[in-house]
């Protein structure tokens, strides 16, 4: 059984985790990562992001759970929301999927605290993300650690940290529908 200072950190991508991981460690947490990844398209992009994740967790010296890559399941779960704009209902479903899976995993691993890197993005709805994290943590019987990583120049710090670690930094959020926003 782990003690109360263990935390499972949902990692959406390595660059976004480059600030939350060291900051949580500096707060005294024993951090374990969780990477979902099935929202990422195509496969070679997934592989690039996984490679960056391995660099980051290797550098930080933490363990990281990687979910099975199952884009079919992700596509099924967001079916009907293909035309939603970025930041709309498809993204809410995507966050919910990842945070629900993470909260369940934390419970299964005996880790009492849960958090996400998603709130480092200047483009994402941090209120919604923290509300979903809170909801799924409560239903799994664990504690949500509410953080807004983009505060205090968090995003800029992550750009710098990623550069120092040589991490691949993508130019779209991840799913096939977010690619068109970059065209």
Q: Which residues bind ligand SF4 (CB under 6 A)?
A: 39, 86, 90-91, 94, 173-175, 177-178
In angstroms, the CA 156 to CA 47 distance is 25
In angstroms, the CA 70 to CA 68 distance is 6
Cβ 104 to ligand SF4 shortest distance, Å: 19
Closer by beta carbon to ligand SF4, 96 or else 109: 96
Closer by beta carbon to ligand SF4, 90 or else 150: 90
Cβ 75 to ligand SF4 shortest distance, Å: 10
> Which residue, among 104, 97, 85, 93, has the nearest Cα to 142 in the 3D structure?
104
Cβ 20 to ligand SF4 shortest distance, Å: 17
Return the DSSP state at 42: S
Closer by beta carbon to ligand SF4, 62 or else 132: 132
Closer by beta carbon to ligand SF4, 124 or else 147: 124
Cβ 118 to ligand SF4 shortest distance, Å: 8
Tell me the three state secondary structure of residue 46.
helix
Which residues are registered as beta bridge partners of 11? 35
Tell me the three state secondary structure of residue 64.
strand
Structure tokens at 127: 């209120």
């Amino acid at each position: 059984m782990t003690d109360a200072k263990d935390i499972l950190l949902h990692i959406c991508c390595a660059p976004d985790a480059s600030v939350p991981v060291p900051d949580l460690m500096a707060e005294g947490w024993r951090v374990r990562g969780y990477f979902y990844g099935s929202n990422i398209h195509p496969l070679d992009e997934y592989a690039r992001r996984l490679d960056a994740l391995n660099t980051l967790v290797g550098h930080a010296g933490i363990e990281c759970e990687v979910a099975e890559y199952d884009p079919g399941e992700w596509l099924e779960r967001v079916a009907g929301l293909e035309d939603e704009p970025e930041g709309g209902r498809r993204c809410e479903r995507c966050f919910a999927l990842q945070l629900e899976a993470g909260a369940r995993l934390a419970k299964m691993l005996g880790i009492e605290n849960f958090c996400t890197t998603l709130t480092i993005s200047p483009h994402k709805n941090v209120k919604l993300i923290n509300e979903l994290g809170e909801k799924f943590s409560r239903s799994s019987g664990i504690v949500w650690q509410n953080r807004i990583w983009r505060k205090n120049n968090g995003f800029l710090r992550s750009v710098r940290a990623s550069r120092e670690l040589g991490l691949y930094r993508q130019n779209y959020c991840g799913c096939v529908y977010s690619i068109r926003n970059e065209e």
